[in-house]
Chain A
Amino acid sequence: MAEPAAPRKTDIGPPHYEQFLHPVIKKNYGKWKYHEYMKPGVMVHVSETGDKIYSIRVGSPRLISVDVIRMFADLADKYCDGYLRFTSRNNVEFLTDKEANIDPLIQDVQAGGYPVGGTDNSISNIIHTQGWVHCHSAATDVSGLVKATMDELYEYFVEMKLPHKVKIAAACCLNMCGAVHCSDIAILGIHRRPPQINDDSVSNVCEIPTTVSSCPTAAIRPTTVEGKQTVKVDGDRCMFCANCYTVCPAMPIADPLNDGVSIWVGGKVSNARSEPKFTKLAIPFLPNNPPRWPEVTDAIKKIVDVYAAGANRYERVGEWIERIGWPKFFDLTGFEFTKYHIDDFRHAGETFKRSAQIKFQ
């Protein structure tokens, strides 16, 4: 209610991007002709005018301090006239028109503990969410999962030796703030037990009809416990999405004993060759095993290894699996195929096989 002291600046929007563009980029805006990968992590874009801009891509944990950002800023000053950007996968890209600056920049970046790579047929940075670091609904910690996974896959970031690019995402719950539903490989935090219900507080903090209707499987019913209006959950119908907890804080679902991680494969957003596709379930449950989640990193390494060995050039993970067939995928990875792999939510029938075209191993 207090009045502001000075006139308040609001609704000004972000600063205009033009002031942040390298002069060569500004000059050649819309005139780029082609690009090439000079080596892992280094691209050159060539303009119709003959101008060139070099991009040096650097992996980052995304969760970074102002000191790390200042270090990047110092490097940009030293080698790039102060120009840099971040990518949609949270890499840092240093931008310079001076080819001679590339190697010294790379040396300094690596000396600072940051890897150069993530271009073309590599595993680029993992898109991820907040996890236990900052989120209230997290079933796992993705910063740690990502760190442990990227340690394991490091060689694929700094080299370009895969059949095609592999994009990995990690999300700490089914809200999927990361693009888990459309990545080559995805890590997803999950719950496995229905929410607990704080009968004493449900009616004071939650709108009961809203809570009931929040459930996609109609598992929630209104009820009365010791004279208090509350809700009950039909455990058989609950698929642990936690949407009820989102609308009703009196229904916490986190459960250290049962929360864990599921692994998904074969999604993509690019339209190249095949249409964009969703990820599909590879492993329904792996335990939460911090600090380094060995079961998860082993499983991902396994997927990458069999993909690297078996896929054709320019085949994304999903395209490779579609060519060899899902039975072969489970055979090659050794992952168990279970009833959980068979969809039973909306439109599940669309995923059933309805033909006699079967490959026998």
Chain B
Amino acid sequence: MRNAKAAAKELLLGGRYPEILSRLGEKRKTVRVLRSLLYEDEPLVKWRAVTMFGWLAREKPKLIDSEVDRLIWSLNDEAGSIGRGAPETLGEIVRNNARLGRDGGKIVAHYIEDPETCRPPNRNPEILIGVLWAIGRMGERRPDDVEDVLAAVGNFCDDPDPNVRGHAVWALGRILRPGSGEFVRCRTGDPGRVLVYEDGELRACTVGELAREALLKQKQTGESGA
């Protein structure tokens, strides 16, 4: 397990996703290794593991056919699972394979309204950011699926935590829906720093940058989204 984990980590950092299966074997034990990497302290490893689950959902769905159950359970488990990485991974699976994702997308999206997870004062910022990111990724493909939580996402655009604000803005930027623009527009001058995972890389920027990009994207894609 330790060797497999080290190998997978290296391949993830190198962005060599298909090689993970050829090197570690096209078997569920490899999936276990990837699950374990979702807890990794090194953010890029964790995020790339999330991407890898998306890749598997697209390319090898059979290998992870029970993953959605597992991930939802890890968010629901009353016996102390923390669900670390679960929202992001669910989002990425749903984005890449809606059939495999089943109700997972809807459930993740609704975590945004869960008082113990995403609402102050109890909220868990790590899970909240994962949920926001998942909403952005899923909504980019299928905006209808996340329609009824967009207002809730919008409310996080003036959160005191810049990382939360940034991810809310980033998520709305992916989802071209009427109304989203309002929340984003208020943040164009926001200097708060945010670290967001985008296109397979971690990107350090300001909330303002994300807001301006989101508005530009909406403009380019057509006024329908504004």
Contacts and interface: CB of A to CB of B under 8 A. Distances in A.
A–B contact (CB under 8 angstroms): yes
B110 interface: yes
B214 to A, nearest CB: 21
B199 interface: no
Contacts of A206: 76, 107
A247 interface: yes
Nearest to B104: A207
- Chain A contact-residue range equals 10 to 19
Interface stretch (B24-32, B67-75, B172-180): B67-75
Contacts of B83: none
Given A247-B73, A247-B76, A249-B76, A1 B103 contact: no
B163 interface: yes
A205 B110 contact: yes
B195 interface: yes
Given A1-B195, A210-B69, A210-B72, A203 B78 contact: no
Contacts of A209: 102-103
Contacts of B43: 1
Interface residues of B, number: 21
A27 interface: no
Interface in B90-119: 102-104, 106-107, 110, 113-114
Contacts of B78: 136-137, 246
A101 to B, nearest CB: 41
A207 B72 contact: yes
A292 B114 CA distance: 37
Interface in A285-331: none
B126 interface: yes
B44 to A, nearest CB: 13
B102 A207 contact: yes
Nearest to B161: A1
A245 to B, nearest CB: 9
Contacts of A247: 73, 76
Interface string A204-230: 111111100000000000000000000
Contacts of A205: 76, 107, 110, 114
A2 B113 CA distance: 23
B129 interface: yes
Interface of A: 1, 4, 8, 136-137, 203-210, 246-249
5 contacts: A1-B126, A205-B110, A206-B76, A207-B104, A210-B69
